[in-house]
Amino acid sequence: MTEIVLFHHVQGLTPGVRALAARFEAAGHTVHLPDLLDGRTFGTLEEGLAYAQEIGFSRIAERGRVAADALPEDVIYAGISLGAMPAQMLAQTRPGARGALLLEGCLPNGEFGAWPRSLPVQVHGREDDPIFAASGDLDAARELIGEAEHGELFLYPGSAHLFTDEGLPGYDADATVLVVERALEMIRKA
């Protein structure tokens, strides 16, 4: 089976992130969950974002790179919102990546160089999420998908951010089931 590196969102390595990882593990995959925020979790997006800004986004990306250094190269990189940053960076720059799964976050394609054309990528987000759809991530996702030979963009109804974390108010059980099903299909083909 496949090894997946799942980077958490700005509220930290929450029980909901662990539950999402468990869904992939139940399908027979190994999931690594690097901690990007010093073991801290936050009750709100605003608190988590304030801490991320305090330690710096480049430091968070570097923590993701260091965590990946201890793992095999042939992994799927996955990230939720803030975690999409190190996932996308590593998928684009670390040799041997098998694919990328970007949930509720995507950086402009040129941020880390050109997307490796044959590298599979999926981006999942809510169509009315102001953090994803209105802040440029959706536009970046469309551009990235256009560059990838095997790229898919999935939009789900709703506006709540972090809809795959079952412990947060924006959780959407039905959409999360679809995310996991679609991601498992990509992983199977990668």
The string of pLDDT tens digits covering residues 45-83 is: 999 999 999 999 999 999 999 999 999 999 999 999 999
> Which two structure tokens, joined as six digits, stand for 75?
């992994």
User: Is a pLDDT exceeding 90 seen at residue 109?
Assistant: no
Question: Distance from first CA to last CA of the chain, Å, rounded?
Answer: 11
pLDDT digits 0-9 by tens, 116-144 = 999 999 999 999 999 999 899 999 999 99
Q: Where are the alpha helices (DSSP H) in 56-172?
A: 57-69, 84-93, 137-147
State the residue range of the domain holding 30.
Answer: 3-189
User: Is a pLDDT exceeding 90 seen at residue 110?
Assistant: no
**Average confidence (pLDDT) over 169-187:** 98
- Rounded CA-CA distance 182/55 in Å is 34
Closest CA to 168 of 14, 20, 40: 14
Q: What is the pLDDT of residue 41?
A: 97
Q: What is the pLDDT of residue 101?
A: 98
**Average confidence (pLDDT) over 111-120:** 92
Looking at the 3D structure of the chain, how many domains does it have?
Answer: 1
User: Is a pLDDT exceeding 90 seen at residue 168?
Assistant: yes
CATH number (domain holding residue 142): 3.40.50.1820
Phi, then psi, of 106 in degrees rounded to 5:
-165, 135
**Average confidence (pLDDT) over 170-183:** 98
With 0.85 as the threshold, say if the pTM is over it. yes
Closest CA to 99 of 113, 110, 111, 88: 88
**Average confidence (pLDDT) over 97-118:** 94
